[in-house]
Structure 1
Amino acid sequence: MTDTREAHASNESPQNQPMQAKRYSGYKSFSYLEPDVDYKVFELAPELNRVPSKRVEVTPEQEERVRRVFGEHLMISLHDHCFIAPKNLDEIFEFRRWGRDWTGYEGLSHSGLDVVFDNLMNGTAMITSRGGWKWEDVIYDLGMRLSDIAHQDMVVLATTTEDLVNAKKNGQIAFVVSIEGAAMIENELDRIDILYGLGVRCLGIAYSEGNQLGGGLKEARDGGLTSFGRQAVKRMNKLGMAIDVSHSGDQTSLDTIEVSDKPIFITHAGARALWNSNRLKPDHIIKACAEKGGVIGIEAAPHTTITQHRPVHSIDSFMEHFEYCANLVGIDHVAFGPDVLYGDHVGLHTVFARALSIGESRGAAPYPKVEWVDGLENPAEAFPNIVRWLVKNGYSDEDIAKVAGGNILRVLKQAWAR
């Protein structure tokens, strides 16, 4: 395919110019097929400027430094969902049952990201089941998404650390397939090998509900890793697959950290000390993760990383979680897993409240609801605003490079096979 990086960048106004030049050719998902013949057409949400989310204000000199940082250092999102939701969320269940998720290629071309751990829509791949997390559905979801990605050359499937570095060099974005929970492997240990063979490089232990491996964060009693769960952790270590405990219960998280021979990730969470929510991690788990060399990615999904001082969710409350964790375990063990998407994320949570166990994972205290997380609306604006905030607040280039990607790469060099 033709390299259109310069042509694309030249058509952008200075305010909307992408943070890094990427090989975006204007490709839209499934454009190799015929609409309304090969698939049902749904009107999708805008990838850019859907809502008036604010940009972090910096001086021209600081903006120049931000762009230099993006150019010189690897930018890795530890957790996102880079699909585009339907504009009308009343259509979401029919949309999901078609099994075709549109990737936000244009939005990603603006994001400045070199690497994204994309988590598909795993639990909501409800092609054969209203409950989700079925093996056949997850494989269908994965294959359909990668089929689309194979028809363009800006986003590339990545399975090694070398792939991540090369993507940046080539003006591309490395797509690391991740799945948030392992319920679909049931009691079949070899299914982890199959997922690895299909390109999956990060797997969560449990997604809120308990499963064959261990307890989820919604369970009133978390018994920790099961015997099978311990086998699964060891298998992931042997394969070279990163492990995530973001949605696991506290005891299951601790057991996983202890049993794993390799450092693990909390790909998207925050500090429970700042807001009493099961969705966030207590200090002792964040410390245990860091002591084994692991990393916590700070998340921005609506109404998660709020605090007692900042109950209205925004980039400032999000960064309060970042600074708390960095002070708790050191700058070498913190990164960013925004957990955002293209479309109405708050509305999507409302629609999928039961399937995603939203209610059970929120704090008991009341908090102001927002229509979107200001400054962190989608993958196109999250990392540019995060780096602007870090520059504005006096962080060094060295520390920004660590939290924006370097810390994650260090763990992957230990956790992955290569």
Structure 2
Amino acid sequence: MSRERPIRVDCLQYANWSEKVFRQMREGGVDGVHVTIAYHENFRETVQNIEQWNRWFERYPNLIFLGRTGDDLTLARETNRTAIFFGFQNPSPIEDDIGLIEVLHTLGARFMQLSYNNQSLLATGCYEAQDPGITRMGRQVIKEMNRVGLVVDMSHSAERSTLEAIEISERPIAITHANPSFWHPALRNKSNDLLRALGQSGGMLGFSVYPHHLNDGSDCTLESFCQMIAKTAELMGLERIGIGTDLCQDQPDSVVEWMRVGRWTKEIDYGEGSKNSPGFPEMPVWFQDNRDFNTIESGLLAVGFSSNEVARIMGENWRTFFDQSFGPADRQINMLDRTAAE
């Protein structure tokens, strides 16, 4: 594997994990992946999912390992492996107990969304008709997440809640997998005002390749996707953008039903799908699996980004964000003090 290529980080995947997928990560030179380990799971179920990942780490030590810091991206590259960073797409793993935040961070969690489409105890999801913003508990949870180094992720949250999270959080937040609504006006995509506020606060946006978030869906062209990235860079700043594909490779359609329905309803909810197309959509031809990140790099170069700018988008920006976000707040203050002294 060439050491000349950019660091590659994908800040959201929920594949049907297997040796095949892990080997494709290596073939694609993917140094770090933020993986979803909980949608609607409670604390015990989440710990069981962590146990399953521990078994994979034991079984495939030459392919993957648990990532905890930004330095693990360097270790991954040096050892030709992929660092796996845990995240939750819902706050359900902490149930109603703020003390579980530090426990789960200790077990490896590095990202947690405050809501997943619906209203939660913490914030409002993007499918709700009304958005009252961050709740009382949500404010306390953000404070605790800031303290331990668990990133606030607002990918599936509504506008007011997200803007309030940006304002309340003392550390930059992330939207790990979404696109701008100026390009495709889906409920999951984000407004210019929100993205501008995210960029000004030092937060990060990961661009999604999930077809429901793309202009023209599965037929979206690579050129259109990369031109959208260029326009978003002008809006937010080049240093605030990265990749978060939302790749759900090899998952059966029963999984997308679990993602949408969980335990909150007895009825079928099609979410971003429809009655005629209820399952996972087909991925665009230019991005099928982890071996296709070089295609995105080529597309970015073709629309005018320099090699250094492509390197920032493909992973260096996430690397900087990881360095600043995953450690305890007091350690981060010490790091900033040392940097200022130098």
AA of the residue aligned to 2:54:
L
Contact 2:186 2:212 in 1 (8 A): no
Contact 1:277 1:362 in 2 (8 A): no
Show the counterpart of 1:26. none
* Distance (Å, rounded) in 2 between the aligned partners of 1:361 and 1:231: 31
* Distance (Å, rounded) in 2 between the aligned partners of 1:252 and 1:299: 21
Show the counterpart of 1:31. none
Q: Which runs of 5+ in 1 are unaligned?
A: 1-20, 22-67, 85-100, 124-131
Show the counterpart of 2:205. 296
Show the counterpart of 1:149. 57
Show the counterpart of 1:217. 126
Q: Structure 1's 145 and 370: CA in aligned 2 closer, same or farther, altered over 3 A?
A: closer
Show the counterpart of 2:323. 413
SS at match of 1:150: helix
SS at match of 2:105: helix
Deviates more, 1:392-401 or 1:285-294: 392-401
Show the counterpart of 2:335. none
AA of the residue aligned to 1:270:
N
SS at match of 1:104: helix
Contact 1:79 1:337 in 2 (8 A): yes
Show the counterpart of 1:51. none
Q: Which runs of 5+ in 2 are unaligned?
A: 332-342
User: How far is the alpha carbon of 1:225 from its aligned partner?
Assistant: 0.7
SS at match of 2:175: strand
* Distance (Å, rounded) in 2 between the aligned partners of 1:186 and 1:340: 27
Q: Max radius of gyration: which structure?
A: 1
> Which one of the candidate residues 338, 342, 348 is aligned to 2:249?
342
Deviations 1:324-347 (A, max 9, x none): 311211211111100113226778
Show the counterpart of 1:371. 282
Q: Structure 1's 254 and 376: CA in aligned 2 closer, same or farther, altered over 3 A?
A: same
Q: Structure 1's 362 and 224: CA in aligned 2 closer, same or farther, altered over 3 A?
A: farther
Show the counterpart of 1:76. 9
SS at match of 1:177: strand
Q: How many residues align?
A: 319
SS at match of 1:145: helix
Deviating beyond 6 angstroms after TM superposition, the runs of 4 or more aligned structure 1 residues are none
AA of the residue aligned to 1:387:
E
1:393 aligns with 2:303: yes
1:180 aligns with 2:67: no
* Distance (Å, rounded) in 1 between the aligned partners of 2:168 and 2:200: 13
Contact 2:10 2:243 in 1 (8 A): yes
Spell out the pairing of 1:259-408 with structure 2 (5 A cutoff): 259-306=168-215, 312-343=219-250, 349=256, 353-355=260-262, 359-361=270-272, 371-381=282-292, 383-408=293-318
AA of the residue aligned to 2:35:
D
TM-score (norm 2): 0.85
AA of the residue aligned to 2:214:
T
> Which one of the candidate residues 33, 37, 40 is aligned to 1:116?
33
AA of the residue aligned to 1:414:
Q
RMSD: 2.6
* Distance (Å, rounded) in 1 between the aligned partners of 2:44 and 2:251: 27
Q: Structure 1's 324 and 358: CA in aligned 2 closer, same or farther, altered over 3 A?
A: farther
Show the counterpart of 1:129. none
Contact 1:82 1:379 in 2 (8 A): no
TM-score (norm 1): 0.70
Q: Percent identity over the alignment?
A: 22
* Distance (Å, rounded) in 1 between the aligned partners of 2:88 and 2:108: 11
User: How far is the alpha carbon of 1:174 from its aligned partner?
Assistant: 0.9
Show the counterpart of 1:256. 165
AA of the residue aligned to 2:55:
S
More helix by share: 2
Deviations 1:202-260 (A, max 9, x none): 11111111111111111111111111101111111110122211011111111111111
* Distance (Å, rounded) in 1 between the aligned partners of 2:201 and 2:221: 31
